[in-house]
A and B are shown apart, each in its own frame.
Chain A
């Protein structure tokens, strides 16, 4: 019964991943991250992603502040950073929004920047929720699998 649960969770995880790929939320770079995880670095993905969350929230807060002050150039620099880290973890949709956002800052287009910031916050929240979901399933699976296959 417990083994069955582990398989279900495994299927759930894969289904969610497939969904996220299909929606373009994640790309193959995320898979690369997973491939770098092994016995030597068993929590690699969640470590990197948690750093990403931490960095991103700082960036988003800064971006909102800078937009209020119309600091387009500084926003561009922040966006480069955001783009880079998002691309490094495979967060495709967030990266794309950053690109559009940066174009708006290049034109000092305030309305465009506002829209882009909202979209960015939305995409980032969505990504964060989905990745948390993924990690939760993985944790459950590890627990259940651990019971089924005692070390």
Chain B
């Protein structure tokens, strides 16, 4: 997408209380050519992101902007966090990031060793971009780049259009043709869903409509992940825990 030079600059913040999983995710991310910082807790993650809870300004760091949040010391393009952590869970961290005006545009990905649909749903509804089942594979990380590229565009409207197009491209590339066709049947007037480059010649649907489609598309994508407990693009058919049901 013409951002080859920027690829090596994507910086991921990985949060996990397990030292082994931190080592693993770090290696996975480095292998995928991302810069990585790992921390072992949600509070350390927020600290790294420059978010202070109660104070307006940090006396040890000169305030650059007059807003009542701490400017990010280092740019982070994505946060990937474990769900189950003592103290602040991954979900709590996700919430705090999405509630922060300075951080809410940072894409957040949740990892968990347990396939609990209600948990997955909750995270996605709170704004997580993806939910990975552990152990995370290299192939899972291929899904991260589109989310990180989104953060390069500050303009909200541009971002919405971008996300919509990315979502569309992703769906076309994977085996989600069925979903597109379903949506097409459901909303025949919204011609932007047609493949190839017809979107330019047709009037764009309103932002609201776009967001609805995006929401539906994303939910369909992620619901599939949720139901199967698997990423649609990868063929992970390994049995988990010899068929013992997961514990809620």
Contact = CB atoms under 8 A, between A and B. Distances in A.
B135 A29 contact: yes
Given A41-B27, A96-B241, A99-B241, A52 B20 contact: yes
Contact of B18 (A44, A81, A106): A81
B92 interface: no
A40 B31 CA distance: 9
Given A29-B135, A32-B135, A32-B138, A88 B24 contact: yes
Nearest to A47: B23
Given A48-B23, A88-B135, A102-B247, 11 more contacts: A27-B238, A28-B238, A32-B137, A55-B19, A84-B18, A84-B20, A85-B18, A85-B20, A88-B20, A88-B134, A100-B244
A36 interface: yes
Contacts of B21: 84-85, 88
Interface residues of B, number: 21
A52 B18 CA distance: 10
B36 interface: no
A44 B27 contact: yes
A35 B135 CA distance: 14
Contact of A84 (B113, B238, B242, B247): B113
The 5 A-B residue pairs whose C-beta atoms are closest, nearest first, are A85-B20, A88-B135, A36-B27, A29-B135, A84-B113
Contacts of B241: 95-96, 99
Contacts of A106: 247
A62 B30 CA distance: 34
Nearest to B24: A88
Contacts of B138: 32, 35-36
Interface in B141-182: none
B103 interface: no
A28 B27 CA distance: 17
A85 B16 CA distance: 12
Most buried by A among B24, B84, B238, B247: B24
Nearest to B28: A36
Contacts of B84: 80, 84
Interface in B26-43: 27-28, 30-31
B20 A51 contact: yes
A117 interface: no
A89 interface: yes
Interface in A59-106: 80-81, 83-85, 87-90, 95-96, 99-100, 102-103, 106
A129 to B, nearest CB: 20
A106 B84 CA distance: 18
A51 B23 contact: yes
A148 B123 CA distance: 54
16 contacts: A28-B238, A32-B135, A32-B137, A36-B28, A38-B31, A44-B27, A48-B24, A51-B20, A84-B18, A85-B21, A87-B135, A95-B241, A96-B242, A96-B244, A103-B247, A106-B247
A32 B136 CA distance: 10
Given A32-B137, A80-B84, A89 B23 contact: no
Contacts of B20: 48, 51-52, 55, 84-85, 88-89
Interface in A22-63: 27-29, 32-33, 35-36, 38, 40-41, 44, 47-48, 51-52, 55
Nearest to B113: A84
B172 to A, nearest CB: 28
Contacts of B134: 84, 87-88
A10 B23 CA distance: 27
A36 B138 CA distance: 9
Contacts of B135: 29, 32, 87-88, 90
A89 B135 CA distance: 8
